Amino acid sequence: MHGRKVLLINPWICDFAAYDLWAKPLGLLYLGAVLRKNGCRVEFVDCLSTEDDTPRKPGGHGRFRRQRIPKPPQLSSVPRHYARYGIGLEEFVRELHSVPRPDAVLVTSMMTYWYPGVFEAIRLVREHLPGVPVILGGVYATLCTDHARSFSGADHVIPHQGELAILRLLGEIWGEPPVFVPDGEDLDSIPYPCFDLVSDLPYVCIRTSRGCPFSCTYCASSYLCGKQRLRDPVKVVDEIEFWNREYGVSDVAFYDDALFTPRDNARRLLLELLARRATVRFHCPNGLHASQITPEIATLMHQTGFATVRLGLETTSPLRQYASGGKVTNDEFVRAMESLHGAGYGTDDIGVYILCGLPGQDAAEVFDTVRFVQDSGGRPRLSEYSPIPHTRDWEAALRTSPYPIGEEPLFHNNTLLPCRSEGLSLDDYEAIRRSLREGREGSGRQVLETLDDGCQDVVARGRHTQFTTVPADGPVECVDLGEA
């Protein structure tokens, strides 16, 4: 493989709204690092690049560039503008021609209903780099593999995690076996992702683990990543120090599905960060498990610079909490909030994800959860449910949705509220959003953390749950060929 040239492509987002909250193709960059280790020359074209004069917020997040495009016919009834987020098509073509002709092109994918941007990237690669093998992986490619193989135009589709699979495939295509193969069970055997290929690097994304010990019915983590595997916390902090020292990175977003689980591992990570006095801000857009946050953990978070704190409550219905996997109870959530406030976090610092639009869910459940979060001193962040193939809720979603979600991934788009029940009307939904914007009567404060234009977040959280919040550890994803 030595001397072979590989082009990595992070395609566009095509949707009604998108906002960049620490959204980088972490898995694709891991693949680039593994291929480099085997002597390949790796280039990177990021369709979601924001390196023009687009302003960034403290911490590194900000707007994507945006170009309005026609809606797909399937979404023509949605009364909102549709857009391609990222660089222009002409700029993409120029970048294709600015790099040496590759021996293979690797394209990643994120949410299932963002596949139009993936298809566009593959079409242009085929047009301008004829004869070069195109390999597609990522979340869409894993959750909708048959659809991807039938319609994407890629030569090969790799579902699930990609480091070992890509080495096997390229070894077969090139007739050259790899000299370096990471241990799939030892995450620390994988080289640091090649973030050095990202222009004007404002932040890096890190995973301390893959997989999740929970099995929430609405989440695809177990299908995408398998069982939970942990990195050595000391080696995680080594990596953080590397990016801070060598590239001046001062913001780190964690992409874990269960960052503080198990708690002992979290404690080791936080104590190591504290001992080294890293001058870095940490962000947890993927949502932390409230059951793992004790007074000690919360205090260590505050001392080590955790600036963006998000919790996943989803609902206060005890029945739904139990039926959906038992990730957290209301009592555990309250104790977590008390711990965070006791450590020095204020209401504005703690965002709490709330699910809206689950099969069988009514408006009262959502309103009750919003009030509960407010009373607990958190900021509710509404997450509209998107149905995901291969989750335990998928069969219920198929029965509930009026759209052919089993045939067309565009109908997974959360803007449609594709699985909402009769107990949650569109008027109810707008009333919920209005209550978040205005704050509960008598609270005296704004309770929704608004983003520019009311845009939706695009983060790791979108990888495995396909939620985008209103106004987005990642999963988002932000996940890609190497992560899925």
> Looking at residue 374, which CATH number applies to its domain?
3.80.30.20
pLDDT at 438: 74
d(CA 354, CA 418): 17
pLDDT higher than 50, residue 461: no
Number of domains in the chain: 2
456, 17 contact by CB (below 8 A): yes
* Residues 161 and 220 reside in one and the same domain: no
The predicted pLDDT at position 458 comes to 39
Q: Answer for the pair 365, 390: CB distance below 8 angstroms, yes or no.
A: no
Q: 402 Cβ partners below 8 Å, 6+ apart?
A: 418
Q: Is residue 181 part of a domain?
A: no
Domain-embedded: residue 191: no
Do 475 and 460 form a contact (C-beta atoms < 8 A)?
Answer: yes
Range 361-370 burial, b when 16+ CB lie within 10 A, else e: bbbebbbebb
Residues 31/162, Cβ–Cβ less than 8 Å: yes
Q: Which DSSP letter does residue 62 get?
A: B
Query: SS3 for 352?
Result: strand
Does 225 lie in the same domain as 108? no
CB 31 within 8 A of CB 482: yes
Judge if 259 and 367 occupy the same domain: yes
Q: CATH no. for residue 79?
A: 3.40.50.280
* In a domain? residue 481: no
Half-sphere exposure of 309 (CA within 13 A, CB side): 29
* In a shared domain, residues 330 and 374: yes
Q: What is the pTM of this model?
A: 0.90
SS3 content of the chain, % helix, strand, coil (to 5): 40, 15, 45
Q: Is 185 part of a structural domain of the chain?
A: no
Lowest mean pLDDT among 17-31, 104-118, 264-278, 439-453: 439-453
348 belongs to a structural domain: yes
* Unique residue bearing structure tokens 């089993």: 406
**Is there a single domain that holds both residue 409 and residue 459?**
yes
| Residue 51 in domain | yes
Do 64 and 97 lie in a common domain? yes
Backbone CA torsion sign across 93, 98, 100, 104: negative
**277 and 152 part of one domain:** no
Tracing tokens 């965002």 back to the chain, one arrives at 351
The DSSP 8-state label assigned to residue 380 in this structure reads: E
Contacts of range 60-68, beta carbons closer than 8 Å, 24 or more positions apart: 60/22, 60/202, 60/203, 60/251, 60/253, 61/19, 61/20, 61/21, 61/22, 62/19, 62/20, 63/19, 63/20, 63/452, 63/455, 64/13, 64/18, 64/19, 64/20, 64/458, 66/18
CA distances from 250 to 61, 98, 245, 307 (A): 13, 30, 9, 12
| pLDDT of 51 | 61
Give me the domain span that covers residue 79. Answer: 5-174
* Alpha helices (H) in 295-451, listed in sequence order: 295-304, 318-323, 330-343, 363-375, 394-400, 426-438
Q: Are residues 222 and 160 in the same domain?
A: no
Beta bridge partners of 350: 309
E strand or H helix at 6: strand 5-10
pLDDT of 396 over the 90 cut? yes
List pLDDT tens digits, range 38-74.
Answer: 999 999 999 998 765 666 777 777 889 999 999 999 9
51, two tokens: 């390196």
C-alpha 189/C-alpha 468 separation (Å) is: 32
Q: Which residue's entry shows tokens 């909490």?
A: 321
Would you say residue 470 has pLDDT above 80? no
According to DSSP, the residues that pair with 465 across neighbouring strands are: none
CB atoms within 10 A of CB 277: 10
Q: In angstroms, rounded to a whole number, what is the distance separating the alpha carbons of residues 475 and 461? A: 4
What pLDDT, in 10s, does the model give residues 125-146?
999 999 999 999 999 999 999 9
Answer yes or no: do 225 and 156 share one domain: no
Q: Looking at the structure, do residues 154 and 264 belong to the same domain, yes or no?
A: no
Query: Of the candidates 358, 373, 251, 239, which has an alpha carbon nearest to the alpha carbon of residue 312?
Result: 373
- Give me the chain's average pLDDT, please: 89
Looking at the DSSP assignment, which residues form a beta bridge with residue 442? none
Q: Is residue 183 one of the residues assigned to a domain?
A: no
Percent of the chain with pLDDT over 90: 81
pLDDT(445) > 70: no
On whether both 170 and 211 belong to a single domain, the answer is no
Lowest mean pLDDT among 179-188, 219-228, 405-414, 439-448: 439-448
- What is the rounded CA–CA span in Å between residue 47 and residue 179? 31
Asked if the structure places residue 263 within a domain, the reply is yes
* Mean pLDDT, residues 83-112: 97
Separation between Cα atoms, residue 277 and residue 279, nearest integer Å: 6
Q: Does 358 lie in the same domain as 255? A: yes
Q: Each residue of 362-390: pLDDT tens digit?
A: 999 999 999 999 999 999 999 999 999 99
> How far is C-alpha 217 from the geometric centre of its chain's CA atoms?
18
The reply to whether omega before 318 is within 30° of 0 (cis) is: no
Residue type present at position 326? G
Nearest to 4 by CA among 102, 95, 126, 106: 102
